[in-house]
Amino acid sequence: MATTEVEHSKDWLGARLARKEDQRLLAGDGRYLADIVLPGTLHAVFVRSEYAHARILEIDSSEARAMTGVVAIYTGADIKDVIKSMPQPVLLPNLPARYPTFWPLAIDTVKFHGEPVALVIARDKYVAEDAAESVFVDYEELEPILDPERALEADCAHVHEGDGGNEIFAMSFCGGETEQEKQANNEEVEKIFEHAAYTVKERFRVQRTGITPMEPRGVLCEWNDSDGLTAYITTQRPHIDRLALIDILDISAEKVRVIAPRDQGGGFGVKAPFYRENLIIAHAARELKRPVRWIESRYESLMNVGQERDQINTLEIAANENGKLLAVRNHCITDNGVGTTGVYWGFVMPFLGNVELPNAYTWDKGDVRLQVATTNKACLTPSRAFGHFPIRFALERAIDMIAHKMAIEPSTLRRQNLIPSLPYTSVTNEYYDSGDFLKVWDNLMDQADLSSFRAEQARAREAGRYLGIGFACGVELSGVASEQLVPMENQPGYGAATVRLDPRGKVLVFGGDAPAGQGHETTAAQVVAAEFAINPADVVLKTGDTGTTPFGAGSIGARAGSYFVSAVSDACTQLKDKITRILAHDLQIEASLQHFEFKNGEVIYLGDDTKRQSFKDIVERIIMFPINMPEGEVGGLETTAFFEAAKPMICFNADCCVVEVDIDSGEFKILRWVTSEDVGNVINPMVVDGQMHGAIVQGLSNAMFEEFIYDDQGQQLTADFEHYKLATAADVPDIEITYAPTPCPHTPLGTRGIGEGRPSSVPGALANAVCDALTPFGIEITQLPLRPNLVWKHLRDARQQSDH
Amino acid sequence: MYPALIEEYVRPQSVADALAAIARYEAGDAIFLAGGQSAMQAMKSRMLRPQCVVDLQAISELKGIVSDASGVRIGAMTRYVEIAASAELQGGFAALGDAARRVGDRQVRNRGTIGGSVCWNYAASCTPAVVLGLQGQLRLTSGDGASRSVAADDFFLGPLETARNDDEILLSVEWPLFVERSGSAYAKWGLVTDALPVIGVCVRVSLDADGRCESARVVLSGLANGATHVAAGDSLLLGCDGDADAIEAALKRIAQDTDTHSDMSADADYRRQLIVSIGRDVTATAFRRARGEA
């Protein structure tokens, strides 16, 4: 659709409009954190621990302090009595846990390879790096605790001395509130497993991996005594970060402003926590009364953040002789790392992940137990498919494995056990509001054409080629309702937007979230353009600045298509109501919003279409000429709307993958990837397609290539892209996205939030396809990453078995 | 990732000027910069801390591929992209193009050079393996204007080690014309497309008039010690006419006798498997090329 066209303006909803952001991003005109220049800025470099676990005997920074251009050096001792320790209530979820006490810089002991030990601040980055290198730290090495199962044993030493154990968090789900209820439930589950016709029990291991945003973290803080602190932070949650800075640094709230730069090179969850680095940089700026900037290197980024998954799921499922899934039982052990990351602490991810275990299937009973272990590794940080990437891999594999035992098609078993109608509450008490899982599934099967594939597979096998098909599906959060977010993170979930009309007929929208490339500017503009029947080019979105935007919980959990655009739509409706009230008065008619149509840049009275005024003129009249107003009306056209769904909302997706496996080398090639999506009503299909493509690629890259590796001394070996392998464009298939939508009944536009959880069904579909190809060898994959080396080992073992 | 202080950067226009620049510093305090695809990273991580960087990119006499009656000469500053696109490098030289086409990514191939790669001699790299496989001669020159030629077998001394002295510039990699009916090929496997080799195999064969292998050379990349000539492999291919079973048998022997290692990319057994699965295609391609087939 041409951007000058305003005919059929409702059509902006669903239009494949080129993203407003892309011109500047692709032309190199993006303005990222490192592009923001303040006069007199100082540059910060962290001295980080070389050991996973060691006592700090001495820090000698005398040589560094003497270097020309060095302005300040901080160590733990310098801040321990000046800055409050963490945790503080502002960063605590509503979950009982063994929260470790820590400061931004290590005190006495370092607890992971890469932990900040000292901060060097200098006139430029070169001097700061030189000085950081000359800070001498004398360590006494301590035995690192690296195995999560070992960490949970009673006789294991503790990562955090004085915490009384390494189990930072534990929880059981499904069983009710009291011990008696839980025991009764678990006995019932046990009985189901004893009598079930079919059961599967496997230990599924998913490696430490996550998401690596193109732009690493960074922070630029400025202080002056009249305005206080202005902090530019690469963050998905500027309003949350602001509260943390206020509370921990004891700064009066009106004196703290946090700004997430307009352009951020990806977040994916990694920029959702409140990080210790932000705190010490803000503290230094306040003390030095100079702007201080820290830009994370790729090396630091891979050392410290983007590490997630890392779970052992001992998963059991039971089914009756008719293929009805009966019960699910899981014992999840998560390697949390050190647990010193505000808001999430590492364990919030596996907590939510286990809530999401049941997926789209009906289970009579469940017994889910989670134990999260503290170890001497970097703390887990949120990564897209928050907490449930490993769990969904395990469940989707287990479904195929039980289908293999029954000798039925895994896709048939899935369909038979899909939740047939919504709303529905899962055995882990997760509420699924709306949608049609069967419609999505049937659309996928239409795309997959299974019977043709099976014929092709049989022919190929005769020719010595091994083709396989795999399926998986995923129920994902569509935004995070306050009902979920308050208990989980002590934070609200509502969406908020301010819509301000301009006397010249243009529109400014303000949002408190902080996008990082998802296309909010385009999506919001399409919504506003559709509401007022104007052009998206006339709408501008401003985000991320706590000084100008309404409170927003942040760009997390697929909140844009669910909560944010709903708030935008509601704000527009409120303004349209005011416009039509005043226009009716001016036209001397008795009418209200329902009697008018906004069309082609005009507001038209439906009862007599000669009674009309241009949108621009009526807006200017209300803002600039507020005389002869209706009784009780005042001028001005700006409003803030808050949107809260009564219940949590979901979206749903399903994947089909076709592979060919080379049984000689174990290499496999993805021949086809086709999906079926319920994303509700689509505002911009190109944006949604892009979200799906990105999510699937990230899922594949996690599943096949990426792995953070620590050696037996806790040294992190994968802090560069030579060793931490990301998929390239050449490594991923063409992805066919298809839609089988059900409009969400709980949002004003019928939209759903999408994209956050989307990678989670990817590893299951991929591994199921590989196992399907290798059916003659009876191979069942139970671990990731799924690399040719692993497939080859399974094949070798299978051949050796058959030789004996 | 900011380098330590670099006091001087020079961009000479000639080899003589480059040698003069390097002579002003103690050995090792000044470094030559070729395409910068490894050295820049090493400087940013401070593994290299030169006082002076002598950038060779403006020296045209170091660039280009010459093929004439006396043989083939590839200037040290010739970029991968030029080697990949060269029509001169056929038959026995074809392995050079195989490797150059799959180094890194497009950006790396547009900047990285053959000379930079062989002088850096990273353990997991392709170019040293191919130069070793094709028995290139490395022509070096130093301050007094004299030049010397070092055989690849004597040039590569182990990961990040070569026979080049700090004050020597590599001028070119050279070959006499291969005998007729020569063919070579190279391929590698890495976790992602065009990654550094977990295992790479370079094979060169020369055939007699009956199509039987009368000389062969097998070199592996991706081993712990970097590019490695497998002399036993050479003799295993002698007399072979390109028969698939014979090639397979030879590669299985080579794999069995090779000391592979386990690391985060692959375990030792899988590296052996890769030697076979990559090597048989590479060997078959080398035979095809030697026979003058596409």
Same fold, A33-142+216-264+271-304 and A308-481+647-803: no
* Chain B residue numbers touching A733 (CB-CB < 8 A): none
Question: Are both B71 and B149 inside the same structural domain?
Answer: yes
Query: Which is it for strands A650-661 and A596-599: parallel, antiparallel or unpaired?
Result: unpaired
- Domain annotation covers residue B3: no
Neighbours of B115 (CB within 10 A): 28
- Domain annotation covers residue B1: no
How far apart (Å, rounded) are the C-alpha atoms in residues B18 and B54? 7
Q: Determine the pLDDT at residue A173.
A: 87
Question: Are both B46 and B90 inside the same structural domain?
Answer: no
- Domain annotation covers residue B16: yes
If phi > 0 it is left, if psi is from -120 to 50 it is alpha, else beta; for residue A346 that is left
How far apart (Å, rounded) are the C-alpha atoms in residues A525 and A483? 29
Q: Determine the pLDDT at residue A2.
A: 41
* Chain A residue numbers touching B105 (CB-CB < 8 A): 728
Q: Which parts of chain B sit beneath pLDDT 50? A: none
Q: Which parts of chain A sit beneath pLDDT 70? A: 1-10, 804
- Domain annotation covers residue B64: yes
Which one of A299, A717, A727 has the shortest CB-CB distance to B264? A717
- A570 — contact with chain B (CB < 8 Å)? no
Residue of A nearest to B270 (CA): A789
Residue B290 and residue B215 in contact, taking contact as beta carbons nearer than 8 Å: no
Residue of A nearest to B5 (CA): A126
What CATH number has the domain spanning A33-142+216-264+271-304?
3.90.1170.50
Q: Determine the pLDDT at residue A231.
A: 98
Question: Are both B139 and B195 inside the same structural domain?
Answer: no
CATH code: domain of residue B17: 3.30.43.10
Question: Are both B33 and B97 inside the same structural domain?
Answer: no
Q: Which CATH class is domain A308-481+647-803?
A: alpha beta
How far apart (Å, rounded) are the C-alpha atoms in residues A210 and A310? 9
Q: Determine the pLDDT at residue A801.
A: 86
Could you say which of B125, B160, B176 is where a domain stops?
B176
> In this complex, how many residue pairs, one in chain A and one in chain B, have their CB atoms less than 8 Å apart?
57
* Chain A residue numbers touching B252 (CB-CB < 8 A): none
How far apart (Å, rounded) are the C-alpha atoms in residues B124 and B136? 19
- A124 — contact with chain B (CB < 8 Å)? no
Residue A352 and residue A314 in contact, taking contact as beta carbons nearer than 8 Å: no
* Chain A residue numbers touching B46 (CB-CB < 8 A): 133
- Helix/strand/coil for A550: coil
Which one of B1, B267, B270 has the shortest CB-CB distance to A299? B1
Check: complex ipTM more than 0.90: yes
Question: Are both B49 and B68 inside the same structural domain?
Answer: no
Q: Determine the pLDDT at residue A647.
A: 86
How far apart (Å, rounded) are the C-alpha atoms in residues A419 and B253? 56
The model's pTM is 0.97
Which one of A665, A726, A787 has the shortest CB-CB distance to B273? A665
DSSP type of residue A533: T
- B209 — contact with chain A (CB < 8 Å)? no
Q: Determine the pLDDT at residue A488.
A: 85
Residues 6+ apart with CB under 8 A from A686: A16, A17, A18, A19
Query: Which is it for strands A292-295 and A42-48: parallel, antiparallel or unpaired?
Result: parallel
Q: Determine the pLDDT at residue B264.
A: 93
Question: Are both B188 and B171 inside the same structural domain?
Answer: no
Domain residues of chain A, as ranges?
9-30+494-643, 33-142+216-264+271-304, 308-481+647-803
* Chain A residue numbers touching B273 (CB-CB < 8 A): 664-666, 792
Topology annotation, domain A9-30+494-643 = Aldehyde Oxidoreductase; domain 4 (3.30.365)
Contact A728 B266 (CB under 8 A): no
Give me the residues of B, 260-279, that contact A with CB < 8 A.
Answer: 264, 266-267, 269-270, 273-274, 277
- Sign of the alpha-carbon torsion through A590, A593, A595, A596: positive
- A296 — contact with chain B (CB < 8 Å)? no
- Domain annotation covers residue B32: yes
Contact B273 A125 (CB under 8 A): no
Contact A665 B277 (CB under 8 A): yes
Bond prior to A785 in cis (omega within 30° of 0): yes
- Domain annotation covers residue B2: no
Question: Are both B146 and B243 inside the same structural domain?
Answer: no
Contact A126 B274 (CB under 8 A): no
| Domain count of the fold of chain B | 3
- Owning domain of residue B143: 60-176
Neighbours of A548 (CB within 10 A): 14
Contact A705 B193 (CB under 8 A): no
- Helix/strand/coil for A769: helix
Contact B193 A722 (CB under 8 A): no
Which one of B5, B192, B274 has the shortest CB-CB distance to A727? B192
CA distance B264 to chain A (A): 8
- Sign of the alpha-carbon torsion through A169, A173, A177, A180: negative
Question: Are both B70 and B147 inside the same structural domain?
Answer: yes
Question: Are both B205 and B134 inside the same structural domain?
Answer: no
Contact B2 A664 (CB under 8 A): no
CATH code: domain of residue B147: 3.30.465.10
Contact A723 B264 (CB under 8 A): yes
DSSP type of residue A85: P
Considering only CA atoms, give the Rg of chain A: 28
Contact B264 A705 (CB under 8 A): no
Residue B116 and residue B169 in contact, taking contact as beta carbons nearer than 8 Å: no
- Domain annotation covers residue B261: yes
Distance of alpha carbon A208 from the chain centroid: 16
